[in-house]
Chain A
Amino acid sequence: MLVLQSIVLGLLLGGLYALLAAGLTLYFGIMRVVMIAHSAFLILAAYLAWWMHDRFGLDPLLSMVVTVPLFFAAGVALQRLLLTRLRPATLTMMSVLLTFAIALGVEGLLGYAFTGTQRRIQLGYGSASLELFGARIAVVKLIAFVLAAVALTSLYVLMKRTRFGWALRATIQHRDAARLLGIDTERVAGYGFGIGLATAAIGGTALSLDTTIYPSLHWHWIGPLMAIIVVGGLGSVPGAAAAAMVLGMAQSLLQIPMGTTWAQTVFYVALFATLAFRPQGFFGGRLAQRF
């Protein structure tokens, strides 16, 4: 009974993790950028969803109509105006510093605009649930899972089936060769970064459905998300999704015998194991062949 419930919860949790980590792995794939501020943007999107619900009574899902384009534009601007200015030789290192500063900036602005008071969107269906073979599935968690499935499938189709996706993958795989083929890699990288940040808008909305938010919450998320993308193979969205599902499920099931504190360490154990035995990640291939 408890095991079945935990499996269901683990699946739902894994889906949420996959959505939240998707953008993070994309940035690294496209640009070798470690985006510490990703989770800060998740919280920003969650705050915008809360604010629109609080102010205009808008359902958080509708807030995506505004936040997704907004975040896409912000992502393009961020890449074109700031990240391209970093020297390629030290890009990965310096991007940590730059995005760390951005994370602090976002956190500070959230505190300034909305105060440090902890908020939660109060939804009529917030505690509603469906029953399946005796296990309960919370409606909000199911919505978040569906959001994750739709967003990740769209991303996959975009990458695999569209000309833009081919260009983006070419840029990920070999930037110089892509440029020789006439791809405007700068522009493509900008849009790629925009897409990454747009997933943060969707992820933040999913998060806001079932979490109490506060400006510094993003620090609690960035660690597990980083672990997921390393285990999944940096730059591979399907890899990150698979790693997220496995780790979410492991966390949920390990909680039964080990308790919350130890169950959380599964992320870091997986991270160490990956770095020690398979640094390229367990789910992605070699970096050049990802996607």
Chain B
Amino acid sequence: MPINHFRSTAAALGSATILALTGCSGDGSGGGENTSDPIVVGISLPLTGDFSEPGKGVQEGYEAWAKVVNDKGGLLGRQVELKILDDQSNADRVVADYEQLIGKDQVDLVVGPFSTRLVVPSARVAEEYDMLFVEPAGAAKEVFEQGFKNLFYAAPAVANDHYNHLAEHILALPPDQRPKTAAYAAMDDPFAQGTAYGLKEKLEAGGVKTVVNEVYPPNTTDFSGIAAKVAAAKADVLVGGSQYQDGVNLIVALQQLGYQPKLAAFSTAPTNPEFAKAIGNKTEGILSPTGYSQDAPYESNKEFVEKFKAQFGKEPEEDQANGYTTGQVVAAAVTAVGCAEQGECQKKLVDWLHSNKVDTVVGPLSWDATGKPQGAHMIQQWVGNDIKIVLPSDVKEAEFVYPKPAW
């Protein structure tokens, strides 16, 4: 197997080079490289296969970030160059890709691929080579249970924290207005359930009684039974841990039964462009957490939306924003620390991110020791015929409406 032999030789040579480099920069102060060399950022993305749609979205985000940075003169005076490999949505492929990028191609920095399934194996490679690993996707809690020290998730929150702003707001209401009971219906899926149960835990701790707690399998075709239970319990608050079609079907089934909650929150479904087309004018007051909004007033977001439209001729969505955010996080660390190469510099970048806050298109981000972001998602609400940010109050576009109008 000559090819494999060549590969392992290359990998060995690669690690030797890293050792040599580490040795060198250990002696010097670490600042004296050639400013004409570009900073090469290595990325493996699922451009084909199961995750090709979101993968391509993240790629556009990375490309938009590189262009914005380069148009301003680059990082540390050096141009940024992306080296993107296609991992075909395959976990074995993604490992080989990052070994090649770090070991053979000697890229200066690496950033993450898309989806939890690919983030975990690739983060392990980055960890082995002591590389900083900022990633745009991997919100499941397993990612943060692997003991990674170099990993940072470049988004506001993991699933269980999506509703934090809403929980705070509800519990801060005066006691006579505060809802007393809540009903939860969640799909049997780690992400969808995580969002609903995150809120459930906080509301229960705050004294809001759980009256219905239904879990339904992803292949559920009839939602009228769940709706009947929720409607019979007459809960003040309704929380749906939904993907898309289940959320829509459940909302319609509840409306058919004449149930009018004071507050209704669903994950994912209400932010889907098809939502209003499916439900019509009966969306009033429905809440949803969101990781990204084109209208969010964060300073760099306006620039991102504008430049992205100019480059790609369309509006950026959440995947694109995640890629861009990842770039912003890395750039902030590189600018602050003043280096971008393999070796000791990586440790400094990691340390800096652990103790600092970074302003991004999704708001200011900071992380705990496992790389879990410390924020929460913005809460959007359907007001009139549009969905608007209502929480947290410093970025709101409209007032939070409570109790919600009848639907």
> Is B16 interfacial (CB 8 A cutoff)?
no
Q: CB within 8 Å of A: which of B136-190?
A: 188
Contact stretch, chosen from A24-32, A115-123, A145-153: A115-123
A92 interface residue per 8 A CB criterion = no
A residues 111-134 in Cβ contact with B at 8 Å:
117-120, 122, 124, 126-129
Judge whether A210 is part of the interface by a CB distance below 8 angstroms: yes
Complex: how many Å from CA A126 to CA B215?
Answer: 25
Residue of B225, B245, B274 contacting most chain A CB atoms (<10 Å):
B225
A55 at interface by CB-CB < 8 Å: no
By size class, the interface of chain B is 20 to 34
Could you tell me the distance between the alpha carbons of A211 and B219 in the complex, rounded to whole angstroms?
Answer: 13
Contact B225–A6 (Cβ < 8 Å)? yes
Q: Which stretch (B73-81, B84-92, B247-255) binds chain A?
A: B247-255
Determine whether B220 belongs to the interface, using a CB cutoff of 8 Å to chain A.
yes
- Give the residue among A138, A217, A251, A263 with the most B Cβ atoms within 10 A: A138
A221 to B220, alpha carbons, bound, how many Å?
Answer: 9
Q: Tell which of B37-45, B101-109, B278-286 binds the partner.
A: B278-286
* Cross-chain contact of B225 among A129, A136, A255 (Cβ < 8 A): A255
Query: Which of A5, A12, A120, A210 is B257 in contact with, Cβ under 8 Å?
Result: A5
- Interface size range on A against B: 35 or more
A89: chain B residues within 8 A (beta carbon): none
Judge whether B245 and A129 touch: CB under 8 Å: no
Partner of A255, one of B217, B229, B245, B277: B229
Q: Is B100 an interface residue (CB 8 A)?
A: no
With CB as the reference atom, state the residue of chain A lying closest to B279. Answer: A122
Residue among B220, B231, B255 making CB contact with A127, cutoff 8 Å: B255
Structural contact, A260 and B220, CB atoms closer than 8 A: yes
Q: Is the CB of A5 within 8 A of B232?
A: yes
> A264 is contacted by which of B217, B231, B249, B274 (Cβ under 8 Å)?
B217
| Residues in chain A within 8 A of chain B (CB atoms) | 1-2, 5-6, 9, 12-13, 117-120, 122, 124, 126-129, 136, 138, 140-141, 210-212, 214, 217, 219-221, 224, 251-252, 255-256, 259-261, 263-264
Chain B residues packing against A (C-beta within 8 Å): 188, 214-217, 219-222, 224-226, 228-229, 231-232, 244-245, 248-249, 252-253, 255-258, 274, 277-280, 282
